[in-house]
Amino acid sequence: MHNICFHFHISQPFRLRTYRFFDINQHHQYFDDYQNSYLANRLAERCYLPANAMLKELIAKYGDKVKVSFSIAGSSIHLFQQYCPEVIESFKELIATKKVEITGNTYTHSLASLHNKTCFMEQVKLQEKLLKEVFKVRPTSFCNTEIIYSDEIGEWLHEAGYDVVLTEGARHILGWKSPCYLYCNPFQTDLKLMLRSYRLCDDITLRFEEKDWDGMGLTAEKYINNLNKIPDDAPFINLYFDYETIGEYHTADTGIFDFFKALFSQLAENDKYKFITPKEITSMKVPCSTMHAPWPISYSGDEKDTAEWLGNDLQQEAFNQLFKLENLYKKSKNKVAKENWLQLQAADHFNFMSTKWFAHDSVRRNFDVYPSPYQAFINFMNVLNDVKLQLETNPEKKA
């Protein structure tokens, strides 16, 4: 029997507006309200609301047999609160079924884990606080931004009280080993690692609309047929997706909703498969081995490294300049500027500066608003410069 874990990420950031250098120290509206509202509502309409409704229906029908987990970045929660509060309500209803787990995450879909412990912990704690406020939950498993993970990040999370971390089944780390087993951090063996079977995920995320599945599109039957090929003694199948896969990357007319509905129904009816959520792992199994990740891994590209966000000099410079302000952040009394500094840590801003695939139209660049990586960099740096000035000022004192 396989335990199957479906996990969905939501990590929509606050997108920046065009902020020119002559705006620095003149005004402090960094965010594109129209774009943010438009995208939040579009996604709510196409993906979040209908997909939540679908899950609710499945849970109502199959009870304990269908379970999923979510990680929702704090910035996305704020986006929903601001522009489409019905999404929050819809998630509350899902959580109330007790079949849905919310895992820990970063507060602003932040890359802080690639910088240092204090910045990362700040993000983790703020997210815990927000989850408690909004959904009244206290997470025990963790899914980092872009499932970035390393031994060190694992240790930090263990110290913060987490038992399970979701990350990539990166081939260059695993070698001959299979992601379908339970692993643990080599230094903190209590910290369990659930590894994503990325080929199976990519079959849906990247290849759902391809027609070379025996000459037709992908169906739940064909997908389960592939799952069946996994050896019977492999206990786990971990499938993590961007939630936007359902309805946005693949729009409703491609049949993605029907696919998931059929997939979940057939798995629920099949005795060979059992839905679980990450927190259930804790009491279930002893890990089969350690997994040693000396350098950060993520679910990006074939390399499963962090080059998508920190691959070129622009990204590194922006990243260094951003986290240089950590002390200023700690000392600052300007709440708005502090919040903005956190928002700038979002991986998306760095993704827009990527020159890794110049002509590549990857799924991840779907929401890119900049004409080139350079303009993304300049815009980010303009905003960062103003945030820095704002962190240095104390609005209350002024008044």
Partner 1 sequence: MKVLMFGWEFPPHIAGGLGTACYGLTRGLAVNGVDVAFVMPKASGDEDQSLIKIINASDVEVDPRFSPFFQQGGETTYIQVNSQMIPYVGLDDYYNVINQIDSGVFISGNKRRYEFSGRYGNNLMQEVDRYAEVAAEIAKHEQFDVIHAHDWLTYKAGIAAKKVSGKPLVVHIHATEYDRSGEHNINDIVYGLERYGMSEADMVCAVSDLTRRIVIEKYHIPAEKVVTLHNAVVPNDKTVEREKNVKEKIVTFLGRVTFQKGPEYFVETAKKVLDKDPNVRFVLAGDGDMMPRIIERVAELGISDRFHFTGFLRGTDIDKMFGMSDVYVMPSISEPFGISPLEAMRANVPVVISKQSGVAEVLQYAIKVDFWDIDATADAIYGLLHYPALSKLFISKGKEEVDNLKWENVARKLKDIYTKVVNRS
Residues in contact with partner 1 by CB under 8 A are 20-22, 24, 312-314, 316-318, 355, 358, 371-372, 374-375, 377-379, 381-382
Smallest gap from residue 19 Cβ to partner 1 (A): 9
52 or 379: whose CB is closer to partner 1? 379
Is residue 37 exposed (0-12), middle (13-18) or buried (19+ Cβ within 10 Å)? middle
What does each C-alpha distance from 181 to 49, 228, 310 come to in angstroms? 33, 16, 30
Contact call for residues 134 and 38 (beta carbons, < 8 A)? no
Smallest gap from residue 30 Cβ to partner 1 (A): 14
| Helix ranges (DSSP H) in 169-304 | 171-174, 198-205, 220-228, 256-269, 278-281
74 or 373: whose CB is closer to partner 1? 373
Q: How far apart are CA 394 and CA 398, in angstroms?
A: 7
Q: How far apart are CA 190 and CA 177, in angstroms?
A: 20
DSSP structural state of residue 364: G
Smallest gap from residue 380 Cβ to partner 1 (A): 9
Contact call for residues 373 and 314 (beta carbons, < 8 A)? yes
Q: What is the widest separation between alpha-carbon atoms in the chain?
A: 69
Smallest gap from residue 385 Cβ to partner 1 (A): 8
| Strand pairing class (183-184; 289-290) | parallel
Smallest gap from residue 356 Cβ to partner 1 (A): 12
Q: How far apart are CA 138 and CA 102, in angstroms?
A: 8
Smallest gap from residue 386 Cβ to partner 1 (A): 13
20 or 138: whose CB is closer to partner 1? 20
209 or 317: whose CB is closer to partner 1? 317
267 or 314: whose CB is closer to partner 1? 314
Q: How far apart are CA 359 and CA 355, in angstroms?
A: 9
175 or 371: whose CB is closer to partner 1? 371
**Sign of the torsion formed by the C-alpha atoms of 162, 167, 173 and 179:** positive
What is the residue type of 137? Answer: V
Smallest gap from residue 106 Cβ to partner 1 (A): 25
